[in-house]
Each structure stands twice: as structure tokens, then as C-alpha cells.
Amino acid sequence: GENVEQHPSTLSVQEGDSAVIKCTYSDSASNYFPWYKQELGKRPQLIIDIRSNVGEKKDQRIAVTLNKTAKHFSLHITETQPEDSAVYFCAASRAGNNNDMRFGAGTRLTVKP
Amino acid sequence: KAGVTQTPRYLIKTRGQQVTLSCSPISGHRSVSWYQQTPGQGLQFLFEYFSETQRNKGNFPGRFSGRQFSNSRSEMNVSTLELGDSALYLCASSSDRGQGYTFGSGTRLTVV
């Protein structure tokens, strides 16, 4: 089955700096790569996703890049704010007929004011 | 539009007992997946149901089972509870069109 590795496990940045979280996956058939944000005591929430036919996607201060050849994808957050502090999870799946989404171990991002 | 509803929110059980957790997906969503979340292990995939059939299963022992009803509601059962089963159990639903999951608030299970 799919195996997703995520780095770093913790990340601390100053407010206004950028944060980058990286993930690798093992199943070359995976074609859907979402990112989730989980604030303390809350449910994970989808913040951005990318499909295998796209190399980059941006939504305001958040962007995701995908390198299918190398089987890795990254989350970029620019101009970080204290409310960005949370645990971020990457995931990979073969979307379509089967939903078998596997998650990375998570990155705890702390944005210091 | 109602979100994913999980009941109960909290449970305390004794080692050796069994427990049943419930998940009602977003209306129209036919895919329901279950995850175990623990501080050290992240989100571990348990299983996924679609149209009352288990399509995918993670690496959990047979004590963990589930089912899905014709209205897409799903239940998860854990028998012979162990202390290590203490975790947040999250259910997520999807439209099964390659869309991301919507998670419920979870059921926090404590085994004593």
C-alpha cells in the first residue's frame, strides 16, 4: 500500500516568514494529494489539494507543488501568521474508484509573533 | 448542509469490553473512511466503505471491524479492548469523485 513520509515533524518560524513542509510517497499510481490543517482539539480540515496533472497550485498565501517523477510534494505558506500555528498533514491517494488515503505523520507548525 | 456527525464524542471503557462508534456522512457522500489518531502515530487508516462494501483495509487486527448501512451511515466496532486502543477515532466522508475528505469531530475513546 501507499506510504507517505513527511518532514519536518516540527517547524518553528517567525511571523511573516515562510514555512515549507515536504512529503514523499511510494505508490506511483497515487494521483491526488491533499493537505489538511488540524488546530488543537479540532478536526483536520482540507486547506488545499493538487492532482497529478498539475505541477503547482496556489490559494492566497498557500501553495502546493508536485514532482511526480521524484514522487514528492510540498506545502508552502508565505507571510505566516500566528493563526497558521497548527499540525499539518499531507496525504496521497488514488482518487476515483478507490479511496485509500494515507497520511503523513504530521508537522507541528508554530508561528511566533 | 450538515457536516459529518460522529457519536458519541467521548467514551470510557474497561479493558476487555467492546465498543461501537457511529458516523453519519455528509448527505450524498457514499464513501466513509475511519482513522485512528494517536499523538505518536498520526492518522492511521482503518478501513473505507462504499455502498455498504468494505473497499480498503489498513493494518489493524481483526478486533477492529466496521460496516456501512444503505443510508451510508457507518459503524466501527472494536472488540476485546486493549489499553493501546485509547485514541481519537475520526471518520471522514467523501463524494468519491476524487475529492478531499470531510472529517467528523471524532470520538475520543479511553480504555482503562
Residue pLDDT, tens place only, B10-67: 999 999 999 999 999 999 999 999 999 998 778 999 999 999 999 889 999 999 999 9
Contact assignment for A103 to B106 by CB distance below 8 Å: no
pLDDT (0 to 100) of residue B98: 62
- In angstroms, the CA B106 to CA B89 distance is 5
Q: Are A103 and B38 in contact (CB under 8 A)?
A: no
Question: What Å distances lie between residue B63 and A8, A96, B77, B79, CA to CA?
Answer: 33, 29, 8, 5
Q: How would residue A83 be classed by pLDDT, with cut points 50, 70 and 90?
A: very high
pLDDT (0 to 100) of residue B24: 98
Residue B31 contacts A where some CB pair is shorter than 8 Å: yes
Nearest alpha carbon to residue B90 among B105, B75, B68: B105
Which residues from B are below 8 Å from A89, CB to CB? 42-43
Compare CB distances from A98 to B43, B56, B106 and report the shortest one's residue: B56
Nearest CA in chain B to A90: B43
Compare CB distances from B98 to A1, A32, A46 and report the shortest one's residue: A32
Tell whether the model's pLDDT for residue A44 goes beyond 60.
Answer: yes
Pairs of CB atoms within 8 A across A/B: 57
B82: which DSSP letter?
Answer: -
How far off is chain A from B91, nearest CA to CA, in Å? 10
- In angstroms, the CA A73 to CA A23 distance is 5
How far off is chain B from A7, nearest CA to CA, in Å? 13
- The pairing of strands A10-14 and A107-112 is parallel
Segment of B35-39, B80-84, B95-99 carrying the highest mean pLDDT: B80-84
Contact assignment for A100 to B45 by CB distance below 8 Å: yes
